[in-house]
Amino acid sequence: MKKVQFGNSGVEAAAVILGCMRMNGADHPQEIIETAVENGINFFDHADIYGGGECETIFGKAMKESTISREDIFIQTKCGIRKGMFDFSKEHIIHSVEDSLKRLGVDYVDALLLHRPDTLVEPEEVAAAFDQLESEGKVKYFGVSNQNPMQIELLKKTVVQPLVANQLQFGIKHTGMVDQGIHVNMTDAGSVDHDGSILDYSRLNEMTIQAWSPYQYGFFEGVFIGNEKFPELNEKMVEIADKYGITSTGLATAWILRHPANMQVIAGTMNTSRIKEIADASKIVLSREDWYAIYLAAGNILP
């Protein structure tokens, strides 16, 4: 399993994360967790809202029934989304983490991310919550999700802990972070900067980008791999995947990991065979030519 620096924490983390959003639909959660760990994927991503908290509960129960040691895995969870609103208040952050710890059956989580930006955020409240959670030993590292550079800078005005990670949608069919850098000084659609140069910001500030929905197109519209809507892309992916001896799913993983930003890929599969495919592909380094060939086959253009 490829390792990447987890922000500026000094920790080396698995390049592939197992996303646990669908764990409440898994038939054998213990087997899934054990398969992931056996293949080097010892980093697990949760959120308080996944399955209404059920996913964390299932994970905690499965961990107790396994022989895996708590110290051998990295558990990350997220908070801040409530029904009809976002909430970065001190009270909600602390309450959410304490509930997650109970459901997971652990004394601490390795990382806590703020899930989606709360426009009513008061950085002082976030800072107070982070200070308390860190001093009580309930959270080791902190980060954000779906935030742009100015939102992060606003938090950093009062938050003293390093913000080590940012979860952002990225993959072969969601390339906005890359497009705007390629199309600088152009006037086409690709030149529009939707994210405030978040890719370059993350590299400059040593924040790890965690790519979510890496195998989907649109906003949870569907999987592009093997999808008849994208014949040119899938033909090219099969061709290049065969060249490296991996599957198309593995190739989609390797494509993200090839970027020098040292991203992590969040794989949300609950299929043990696919977990192995993705883990194996993390070791592959695509050539520059193959990376761009896939980028173009996905419908992108170069100026």
Q: Which pTM was predicted? A: 0.94
Residue 50 annotated to the active site: yes
Q: What tens digit of pLDDT does each residue of 75-132 get?
A: 999 999 999 999 999 999 999 999 999 999 999 999 999 999 999 999 999 999 999 9
Q: Tell me the pLDDT of the chain averaged across its residues.
A: 96
CATH code assigned to 3-297: 3.20.20.100
- Tell me, what's the pLDDT at 126? 98
Q: What tens digit of pLDDT does each residue of 38-86 get?
A: 999 999 999 999 999 999 999 999 999 999 999 999 999 999 999 999 9
C-alpha to C-alpha distance for 17 and 33, rounded to whole angstroms: 11
Long-range contacts of 60-69 (CB under 8 A, 24+ apart): 60/103, 60/104, 60/105, 60/106, 61/29, 61/105, 62/29, 62/30, 62/32, 62/33, 63/33, 63/104, 63/105, 64/105, 65/30, 66/30, 66/33, 66/34, 68/33, 68/34, 68/37
Question: Would the pLDDT of 189 be above 90?
Answer: no
- Tell me, what's the pLDDT at 31? 96
C-alpha to C-alpha distance for 79 and 88, rounded to whole angstroms: 8
**Catalytic residue from among 50, 141, 215, 217:** 50
Q: Which two tokens stand for residue 203?
A: 């590299």
Q: What tens digit of pLDDT does each residue of 269-302 get?
A: 999 999 999 999 999 999 999 999 999 999 999 9
Residue scoring higher pLDDT (188 or 201): 201
Question: Would the pLDDT of 221 be above 90?
Answer: no
Q: Which two tokens stand for residue 15?
A: 């390049």
CA dihedral 102, 105, 111, 117 (to 10 degrees): -30
- Give me the residues paired with residue 223 across strands: 216
